[in-house]
Structure 1
Amino acid sequence: MAESKLENISGSDDKFRCPICLEETYISSTAACSGDNSPKTIQCPVCRKSIQAPSNDASSEEWACSLPEDKLILSMSVDSDRSENKLQVHSFVRVLQEHKIVSLTDIVDLKNDVEIDEPCLVHKGKYLEVFCKDHDQLCCSICFATKHRTCKQVESIEDVAKETDESCHKTTPEFFKDFLKKLDDIQNEYKDTIANLSTKKQDIFTCTEKRVQEIKALLDKAHSQWMKKFEQKHSDAVGNIEIASDEVKRLSITMQEAKTMLHRVLENGSTKQIFVTRHKVRHQILDHVNRLCDLKIWDIVYDYAQPDTDFLRQIREDQNFQYVEVLEKNPTTIDTLKEFAFKLHISDILPRRKFMAQNDWMSVKFEKLSGIILPKRAYYGLFVDDTKVLLSIENPPSLQVYDVADSNARCVHTYKCSTTPFGLCHSGESMNRVFVSFNTHVDHFQIELSDSVNLTKMETIQLKGSIKDFSRGSSLMFACSDTEKMICTPDFSVKRTSNSPKSGDRPFISASFHSDHHAIIRGKEVVVADQDNKDVLTKAIHTDYPRGLAFDLQDNIFICVMENKLRQIRCGGGESRDIDLSGIEKSYNVVLHPTGEKVLILDYYNKFCVYKVL
């Protein structure tokens, strides 16, 4: 690679250029010096051997002069046509340095049996004299003495040559001619292979470019579709939020107007006007809130998620980008609306209950409002608003809602259950939130009542024992199974138990509206106990088949007696009376509306009736 030896050599053309950098000078373009002042080095571009500079400040020319001579390059650079260079090749090429040189004038003598001693390539000044047959190797005297002395077949070259039959040798000019032909064929095959590879390379380039363009087009298409889809999702999400915001704003205006009107009436209106205004305001707001609760706009998008951004894999597998996920939640809006509606509802129930409690309940009468013959028997029922009752149907297992606004009640909704439902009870002051017992667990339902009816299960509470009927007191839950009575906390954790075998097909229990007193039927007696499960009243009923029971608003007790009557026992166990029930053959269970304005009677013969309390 050094140029100093070649500067004065004529004819130095492309064969002296570096096959890698294509320059005659390699040192100046590749020499490097590291930041820690380490010596300059270059690497041979062929064998990768590192060569260090003679000194750190040596120039390229000085460095080149210090390199060993490349005899092959020098021999190739000699102009053999010049007389002074005719013998120069033997001086540069090591393998030729020991050759004997004779005058060309003796060329005639060279044609006949010329004997030329071959020098030993290993030992300078020595000539080949013997042949070791054991190792198939030509040797000088030193080679023989040092490496082949113990060999058994070592003879002089002249003797071996005489013994050798010329016909046994394949190293003939013809042999080389055939082999050279094969080498030419190999060279031509290499040329053809190169040409084929070049053609194939171009074909692959073209195919790859085409496929890359196709992939780019597919990526662009998928990206465009993904953006349009995401833009639409975002637009829908924002639009829904804006709609919900507008609805809340309109409710706020309604509330503000109601507040202003109520404030003025309370300041200047008569008692009658105040009552009418309160009633109108309450129902106006309840109607507005109920309408809002029925709207399907409250699942608000609150965030976006993009869990997978491996777009190349998505394109490879699906030829589409995975769309962004929208995360929805029901915000506090709907809960706030329902909470407010509940408070309005309670403010409606409590005054009505207080008004009804002023009556003498031992003299009230029942007027039939509605009724229906059921396809299957129902043991348990519950009012869920002024005109709707919920029944437990055991076969097939289901919960059914009946509209009792007209004289002929009608089923407006059926909720299929996986197991048999039993007792029903309000979970709080709201009539449309109900606990349903399934013996081994209790489900908590929200009942939506508007133009359509829908039951939504909010939670399931697993029980440690069995519960078939229950009733909610002021602070405790009272429950019973076929064999036991239990006093529970509101989450159904059992505080106390006692033996209490059922009477008839199903067990029944009822809690007071005013206290944590509860009542059950034990044989032919009604038993009232307090929150510590201590009996405070035991009263004989004097009938053969007492079944379901309920407290009225003055803690008198209604008892079903399997006749077309209802037995009523005064609080404390004093007088009692029977109330005739039109439309009922065998009274089996009784349920009082939370306001005390209505009563539900379930008949043993697959029917029920609703009565107005007068």
Structure 2
Amino acid sequence: MNSCHRHIQRLSSGSGNKPLTNSSSGDTFRCPICLEEVRNPKYLSCLHTFCESCIQTYISSTATCHDSLNTKTINCPVCRKRIDAPRKDISNEEWASSLPQNKLIVSMWLNSNPDKELCKFCERKEKKVSATHWCKACMETICDECKAFHELVPSLQNHKIVNITDTQVCGNDVEVKELCLEHKGKVVDAFCHQHQKLCCCICLATHHISCQRVQAIAEMAVEKERNHVLNIISTLSDLDQSIENMQQKSREKIDHLNSKKQEMCMKIDKAITELKTLIDDAHSALIKQFEQTHSDSIENLEVAFDELKRFSTTVRETKILLQSMLEKGSPKQLFVTKQNQLARIDDHISRLKSLDVWNHPEDYTLPDSNFLKQLLNQKKLENVKMLKTPSGMVEKIIQTVQRATSSDIMRRKRDASKKDWMKVTFKLVSQVTELSSWIHFGIFTHDTKILLPCRRPPSLNIFDISEPIGKCVYTEKCRYTPYGICHSRVNETLNEVYVSFQNCVVLYWIEVEDTPKFTKLQTIQLNEPMLAISCGLTTMFSANDSKAFICSQDFIIEHESPYSSGNANVPHLASSSKSDYHCFTSDGRVVVFDRNERNVFQSDKFQEEVRGMTFDLNDNIFVCNKKNKIKQIRFGGGEIRDIELDGISTSYTVALHPTGEKMLVLDFYGKCCVYHIM
């Protein structure tokens, strides 16, 4: 094990004299290097925080010169991200000193700081004067004289100063100016929902000037952020426990393999000694191979154990910071901290996924212990075999983190996917009558709103289906004829909708809860006309009267093939939200294929006219057939059932609510019915 590994191995074995402890959770924020209360906290670009003296020592012992850049670099002791020195000729002491101070932690642990009795301003003048106040902007204790100095200097007059004896005022409302990592000295004060990025004023002017969904952090919904952070903290606690369980299983597996190795070596030695000189060379070769296999196996498990330990540090730090921000931080700081910490966890998970250490050694097997027969027939001994099984550790981590950060739609969808969808029933809850006969598609834009595009006259219509009889509540007139519609899966929201206008596709943000409003986020010009579109897990599927296309998320064509919609007025197709499968009709059959156009399966030929279709949450397929029912095909074929629907005489198009809680069916004769799925 190299020196860096030995250095990090101390993460879970040390203890501090008087650690800083969060009063609510009992967790401790320690320096990952010395494992004691963090002193003069400095953080790297990956946001991991250390004592200044500890990170200076670490830089001195591990910094190397990068050949291509001719500059010094280190790897973060926790996540192993490469960190470059700010300039070529900087000393190790200057490098550590130039790292930004984590003022968030300084403010967070103010009440636990035993050094707050002295005025920090006077200490720099080598004077020892008792402190009486705390400056929240300077993040330091000051005396009466220095407080008066603040009042005289114009640049200091806006600083908020509180009495140091009022611990509650000192500790609450943590508000640290979060600086932009890209533009030095600029404060983060906005968030781009379209790109999920924190922004300063320069970011907005250079990278997000055309983005439609940019919001000032000060305007964020406080209660929504608090609820999201509470959910993240709860899930991170589960994740922390899961990691501890994984580490324990790894240690148990190491003990088992060590024991099994001893047992098998004794068995091998006993058999080998009976063959005497004839097998001495073969014996030596076998043990050498076995030792190497065992060494590789243990090293694999130890590396996995070590990586889990590093990730546990990231998780615990995130949990502590979020808990503290929830209790003491301002709404802006709560939101900024949440976004930074989630990005840090995502970066660390990406590193874990890139490591080839998660197929764990499971056991050893010896193919045959008749060594004499082996030597006579093969002139050598058969090697010990290593059985490996996937550990599932990274997958478990990813699944747990996704549960913490997923939207309400994702959580509801996950719950609905647990049903046996070949047995669900449908209850009619609303119907819209007297529709234009030129409506071929529909989707949900809210739990109680649906969007229906009309070709004559060209328009996008919002219908309220909260009552048994639905009604149109808004019409967005269109310059060109709208055809296909589908949800964007980028942010898993009902509000982002793609609409195809044959030669272009427009991405709308649709507000429906108060006064309906359509905002164009993006217009994509098409190289081929597209009349029907659907969004899969990673690819788009579309078609016109003669061709079908598999496209990237920005509708760049990756595959195309001949296609015919038959007797239908428009193409009918669908994409799965669970896996990257797509389906369409061909010669009276429903055909399912993957993103590379490989055929997955196709149904038997139907006698009826097959029209619109959609995948359910188990990848079974609902298909309209111009009758008072729809068909459901089990994924892979083999089972088909007919579902009779109240209110429908000629089913034409079907669409599922992204959560799987509702379904809409368009009747061929100007009617739409909405069903609750049970």
When normalised by structure 1's length, the TM-score is 0.46
When normalised by structure 2's length, the TM-score is 0.42
